[in-house]
Structures are given as structure tokens and as C-alpha cells.
Structure 1
Amino acid sequence: MGVGNVWINFWVVLNQIIERVTSFFRRCAFNVLSMGSIPIHVAFIMDGNRRFAKKKKLAEGAGHRFGYLSLVSMLKYCFEFGVKYVTIYAFSIDNFQRSPEEVQSVMDLMLEKVELLIREESLVNQYGVRLHFLGNLGMLSEPVRKALEKAAIATSNNNRAVLSICVAYASTDEIVRAVEKSCEEKWDEMNLKSANGEGNDLGKELVMAENGENFITLADVEKHMYTTVTPEPDMLIRTSGEARLSNFLLWQTSSCYLYSPSVLWPEINFWHFLWAILNFQRNNLRLVKKRKQL
């Protein structure tokens, strides 16, 4: 056996040992943290991929590939800790305004990684994760749209956790669509009642609307949101130190804990996740009280 092969085998064994040690440490840390509140739903705004590439003098688009590695790590930590729902902001509607080359690079990466996610040995199947893709998917190219549909179908029987990937998404677009769908549904109901001779009930509903009563309720709107597949987030993590939502889950985060570490997304690690959970647990009682007041 050559010297090169000896070194390769040494590094393989060393990496396996390091992974086992770190995995044991994570389990110990999570066992301690599980004595406190565990967030049911964690959302991520993965901010800083382009700045990371520029900082490291990498090729354009390379930052997104490093960002994918960070995403896999964060998903592993979430599912090991017992988080049931994870939602990530993968690509916004505004991102289509970037250069065609960058948009195509992100779409190619998405195609590649979505196919990896649904392989039998993947993290998604290891943790029993069901995939949902949320957003105005009609804006995507047909190959990307079909790949996302295939992934959603392939994981439809997984039931231990849920990963929602927001693609071609904007919260304002989601809200407008939900209101439009609610109005269309209510209009169809009114027409059906009229056709069935229930004109008196229809008149009462119109009077209610004219008097300012809720003709379309909160529940009517919320059932048409993209995010009906998940509860509202308990915690939202946005990297790069930005404390803004950038048109992400505006409707759903009114009483959500926001954690904003200063690191860029490809730089986020286990310690940032650990600190986020500790801060969530420290603030959770106040947030629970706030939700009850709403």
C-alpha cells in the first residue's frame, strides 16, 4: 500500500472518529436542551451566499453551493433536536430580477440538490421528512417545476417531519392570492345559493357586508395561504445580522422569535443553532403569553 493510500485511509478514519465524537456531543447537548421548550417550527432566511463568495474570492454562484452544505447541517440539527417543521426561503420572486446567469445557476443547483434529497440514503429519507414546495410555482421553468413535483410525490409517505421550501415566493404575493381565492370562493357560494333559490340568505349576507361585518373571515383567508401545511413558526433565523423579513412569512410571524446572527449563511454552524435555541427558550414564555393575547 502506497504512502498516499495510507494517508487517505488515515483521514477517512479520523473523519469518522470526529463525526462520532461530535454526534455524541450533539446528542448530549440536545438532551440537556430538551428539558426546556422545543420549537415546533423553525424558519430560515439563508442570507449571505453571494457575500460569502465575494469575501472568499470564489466564482459567482459558488456561495450557493457552500450555502447548501450549511442547509444540510441545519436540517440535521433541527431533526435531531426534534423540530417537526422547517421552512426555508430558497428563492424569492424578487430574485428573478437578478442576472439571468445567476438565476439559471440557482435553478441548476436546485435541480441537482432536489434530486439528491429524494435518494434513498438522503437526509430527507433518513429522518422521514416530507417535502412541500411553496410559492408561485408557475413562474418556474417546466423542468424545475416537474422536479419539485416529483420530489413532493416521492416523499409524500414520510411523516416524521416536514420541510417546506419556499420557491418563487413572496409573502405579499401569498396574501393577495389568498384574498383573491377567498373572494372567488365566497362569490361562487353566493351564486350557488342564488341558483338554489336561497335568495333571502344571500340578501342577509349582502346586508352584513354593507354594515361592515366580516363577510370574509380570517379563517377564509388563511385556508388559502401556501403555508396551510404548517403551523406558524416559533422561531425564525436570519443570518448576516439582518433583522428584517424581506417579504417572507409576514402573515405568519407576528409572535415569532427572530434570531439574527452576524455570520453569513455558509458560515453558520452548530454553535449558532445552539445559541438560537437557548435564546428561544429564554424568550418563549413571553412569546406564548403574547400569542394568547392575540
Structure 2
Amino acid sequence: MTKSFDKVPKHVALIMDGNGRWAQERGLSRIEGHKEGAQSVRAVLRAAAQAGVEYITVYAFSTENWKRPPKEVEGLMKLLVGSLNSYEQELHDNHIRLRVMGQFERLPLPVRMRLQKTIDATAHYTDHTFIIALSYGSRTEIADAAKQIAEKVKAGELDPKKINEQTLANHLYLPDVPDPELMIRTSGELRLSNFLLWQISYSEFYITETYWPDFREEQFFQALEAFNHRDRRYGGVKK
């Protein structure tokens, strides 16, 4: 299924919510919900490439998710490695670059090694970029940026009078990535969950009741269709 749109967001961010509830309603384990959710990631990447979206960022594992039961965390990490093993060729077929944002060093060594392998293998692609937010928290990201700026001021490398919004943006985890124009959250939840708080200042929000495991190409295209009907003024007045 191929769709075209008058306006295509350059960057779409997704909060993938509802895996656990999807599984519970079917009498399955939470990890089974996460496995089905991984299929939705694959479907969205295909749909985004078809529509011409250049950047997709998914909130896969937050800094708060480390508080989940160890068995679930271990299952999620195994699922991540398994998904890379299964779907890396699809990244190559669609010329999709993989990047990761978050506290990379907190991830288990085998996971870091597997991720780095795919990151290196796809680094030369420029058509599309798939960003996985792993061990990510936006407040931590902003705090880390502030620390870097403070260190530069202390070292005499930066005049505090010249610090502005762009200064902070330049010290975020992926400063070269444009801010998302569209942020999608599934399962009907109405909160940001510490995701890209700085970057989504002017993003359009699309909230759907659909659980993430049921969010596939058709649902992604519906979100893009909704985006096409938004009037984006960035605080200005419609002419």
C-alpha cells in the first residue's frame, strides 16, 4: 500500500504504548505484547519510507523502565537483539540509517555491541534515519546538556552571555537531527512521559486509542493524513 501526501513531516516521533494491555486482553505475557509491537515498528518503518518521512524516532526504553521486573527488562533486551538480527537487511533494502539516543553505556554489553554493529553498517545511508530512544529520559538529556555548557563556561571556552536556545540544542544527544514535526502516541494516553521535551515544543500531536501492536501501515498513514489538515503557525497568525 503506497500513499502520497501534500505535506509530509520530515521527522515523526512515536511513543509506543499499549503492548502490555494488548497482551493482557489476550491472556498473553507482556513480552508477547512487546514481540508483536516489534512487528509494528517494522511496519511503520516501511510506511515512513514509502511516504517520504526522513526521520523516525521511537521511544523504546526509558530511564524509568529500568524499574520494571528484571525478567521483563531482560526479555526486552533479548527482543531488541533478535529484532536487529531479523530486520537489519530491511534497513539496508530501504537505505535506513540506525542511530541510538540515550544512556548507551547503561545497556548490557551484548546489546551495545549488536547495536553498534548495525549503526556502523548503516552509517552511510542518507535517505532515512531510524532513531531508537534507549535508556532515554528527556530531563536527563537536558541536564547533561547543561553540564556540558557549564564545563565550557568554567574552562573559559564559552561566554555565558552568549548562551541561548541554540546553545542548549547544540548540546543535546543528537543535535544534528531536526525537531519532530509530528508526535504520535498510541493507546489513548495523554502525557509526554519524559520524551523529547525540548524537541517537541512545536510538534503536532496525534493521539490514537489503538494499542501499539495493532498500529501498522494503515494507522500510520491515518496519522499523516491528520497532519496534512493541521495549520502550523508557530505562534504566528494565519495569513
1:167 aligns with 2:134: yes
Preserved CA contact (<8 Å) 2:19 2:30: no
Q: Which residue of 2 aligns with 1:60?
A: 30
The DSSP-based 3-state class of the residue aligned with 2:131 is strand
Paired residue for 2:59? Answer: 89
1:254 shift after superposition = 1.1
Residue number in structure 2 paired with 1:80 = 50
The Cα offsets for residues 130-161 of structure 1, whole Å up to 9 and x where unpaired, read as 11010011111111112111111111111211
More helix by share: 1
2:220 alignment counterpart: 273
Larger radius of gyration, structure 1 or 2?
A: 1
Shift of 1:60: 3.2
- SS of 1:230's equivalent in the other structure is coil
Equivalent residue, structure 1, for 2:94: 127
Give, as a single letter, the amino acid of the residue that structure 1 aligns with 2:234.
K
**Equivalences for residues 132-151 of structure 1 within 5 A:** 132-151=99-118
Aligned mates of 2:176, 2:80 — CA distance in 1: 22
Describe the shift of the 1:292–1:182 C-alpha distance in structure 2 as closer, same or farther (beyond 3 A): farther
Which of structures 1 and 2 has the larger relative contact order (alpha carbons within 8 angstroms, sep 6+)?
2
For 1:229 and 1:116, locate their aligned partners in 2 and report how far apart those are by CA, in whole Å: 29
State the one-letter code of the partner of 1:150. Answer: K
1:137 counterpart letter in structure 2: F
The alignment-based identity, stated in percent, is 33
Amino acid of the residue matched to residue 186 of structure 2? T
Alpha-carbon displacement from aligned partner over 1:153-181 (angstroms, at most 9, x marks no partner)? 11111121111100000000100001101
RMSD of the alignment, in Å?
1.7
Structure 1 alignment gaps of length 5 or more = 1-25, 191-201
Structure 2 unaligned spans of 5+:
none
Q: Structure 1 residues 127, 100: CA separation in 2 closer, same or farther (over 3 Å shift)? A: same
Aligned position for 2:208: 261
- Which SS does the other structure have where 2:195 is aligned? coil
The answer to whether the 8 A contact 1:186-1:216 is kept is: no
- Contact 2:47 / 2:221 at 8 angstroms: preserved in 1? no
